[in-house]
Amino acid sequence: AIMVQGCQVMTAIMLCNFVAHAVAFAPSSLLASKALFPAAKLEARAPQLRNRESMFSLRMGLFDAIKDLAMPTEVADMPNIAPNVPAADGPLSWTCGMSEVADPRHPMEDAWFATEADYGVFDGVSGAAKASFGDVYSFQLSGATYANMVKQRSSSGKVNPEAALDGAASALADVQSIGASTACAVTVDTASQPGYTILNGVNIGDSGVLVLRQDPATEGVRPVTAYKTIPQMHYFNCPFQLGGSSPDSPDQATKIRVPLVSGDVVILATDGLFDNVYESQIIDLIEATWGQDPNVQAQALVAYARQIQEDPQVMTPYGVEAQQSGQTFVGGKLDDTVALVLQFQ
C-alpha cells in the first residue's frame, strides 16, 4: 500500500499583498495527484526576499521585453540539450516544494502530482470544451499519468514518463473524455547510470521545466540556466495539447534528459508562471530565496506571477509574443498557476 503523506498547504505570503498556496515535503514522503486525493491544509513560512542595494528587488520586465522583441522567438525544434556533468560519488538527494493559485474567474484547471521521484504539471487549455460532470481533462490526464508511473515503478522499478503519458492519453481517448491539456511529466533516475542523477521526462505544450545551476566561475549564489524546455506552439496562444479534437499526440513531446549536480534547482510550472515572469526574474526570485525550503521558493514564484497577472500596465513575455505575432496585449495574463520546485543536494 502507498502511504500518502504529502499535504497541500494554504499559506498567506506577502509579495505585494498577494496570497499563495504551497506544499513542502521531503523525498521520503509522497504526494498524490490532486485529481485523485483531497489534501489537508497546513501553515508554511513566508519567503524572506533579499534586499538589493538598487531601487528594484527584481530586474524590470521592460528590459527583458525589449531584449525579447529584438531577438527571434525560440521555436520547438531548436536545440534543447542539457550539458554534460561529471560523475558523482553517489546519487543525489532532493526535496520538493509546491505552490498553486487559481484564476479567480473559474475553478482551478491546472493539475499536478508529486511522489518520491515522479512529478507532473498539467494545464487545462482554456479554449477547450469542458465536461459537464466529473474532473476537467487536465485532472484526468494528471491522475491517469500518475497511476501509470506508479504502476511502472511497482512492476519493474523503472519509470518511463513518455509511455505513462501515452497510456493515459490513449485511455482517456477510449472513453471519449472531453477537454484538452498540456502536459509535463518527469522522473528522477538514480539507478540506470551509476554516478549520475538524471531528470528524465516529456513535455508537450507550453508548461515546462527550468533547471537552474550555480555558476562556479562567479561569486555568490546567483544561478544560471542549465536547461529549459522550449514551448511547443502551433501559433500564438495555441500550444500543443492532448485530448479532445487536438491533432497532437504524446510522441510529439519534447524528450527531457538532464544530468543533475548538487545545488541544482529544478522548476516545473504551467504557463501561468512562464507567460508572466521573465526567465531573469525567475532567477532573481530563486537567488533571493536561496538556501530556504523549496516550498518557500515555489511560493515566491507563484506569488510574484499573480502580482504580475493583476498589473494592467506591465509588459510580460506573453505580451512580447503577442506583439511578435502582430497583436497587441498589455498587462499581465490572468491564469491558473502551478509551480513545483526541486532542490538537489
pLDDT tens per residue, the chain (345 residues)?
A: 232 223 222 222 333 333 233 333 333 333 444 433 333 232 333 333 323 333 333 444 555 555 454 444 444 444 468 889 999 999 999 999 999 999 999 999 999 999 999 999 999 986 655 655 557 899 999 999 999 999 999 999 999 999 999 999 999 998 888 889 999 999 999 999 999 999 999 999 999 999 999 876 666 778 999 999 999 999 999 999 999 889 999 999 999 999 999 999 999 999 999 999 999 999 999 999 999 999 999 999 999 999 999 999 999 999 999 999 999 999 999 999 999 999 999
Other C-beta atoms lying within 10 Å of the C-beta of residue 307 = 18
CA angle 103/108/111 to nearest 5° reads: 125
Q: Which residues pair with 23 in a beta bridge?
A: 98
User: CA torsion sign, 131 to 134 to 138 to 144?
Assistant: negative
Report the distance separating Cα 2 and Cα 266, nearest Å. Answer: 25
- The grid coordinates listed for 61 are 520586465
Question: What is the pLDDT, as a whole number, of residue 53?
Answer: 33
List of residues 6+ apart from 101 with CB closer than 8 A = 19, 20, 21, 272, 302, 303, 305, 306, 336, 337
Q: What is the pLDDT of residue 132?
A: 54
The alpha carbon of 226 is separated from its chain's Cα centroid by a whole number of angstroms, namely 16
Alpha-carbon distance of 290 to 284, in angstroms, equals 10
Phi, psi of 201 (to 5 degrees): 175, -170
Using the structure block, give the residue that is written with the C-alpha cell 534547482. Answer: 265
If 0-12 CB within 10 Å is exposed, 13-18 middle and 19+ buried, where does residue 146 land?
buried
**What is the per-residue pLDDT for 129?**
57
Could you give the strand order of the β-sheet that contains 197-204, starting from the edge strand earlier in sequence? Answer: 110-114, 118-123, 183-189, 197-204, 254-260
165: closest CA among 147, 153, 177, 191?
147
Residue 177 pLDDT: 82
Do 135 and 181 form a contact (C-beta atoms < 8 A)?
no
CB 333, CB 45: distance < 8 Å: no
Phi first, then psi: give them for residue 330, nearest 5 degrees.
-120, 140
Q: Cell numbers for 146, please give them.
A: 500518475
pLDDT for 178: 85
CA distance 183 to 180: 10
Shortest CA distance to 303 belongs to which of 12, 59, 7?
12
| Rg (the chain; Cα; Å) | 19
Cell 515566491 sits on residue? 300
207 and 109 Cβ atoms separated by less than 8 Å: no
- The model's pTM is 0.80
Residue 90 Cα distances to 86, 188, 190, 196, 261, angstroms: 12, 14, 9, 7, 11
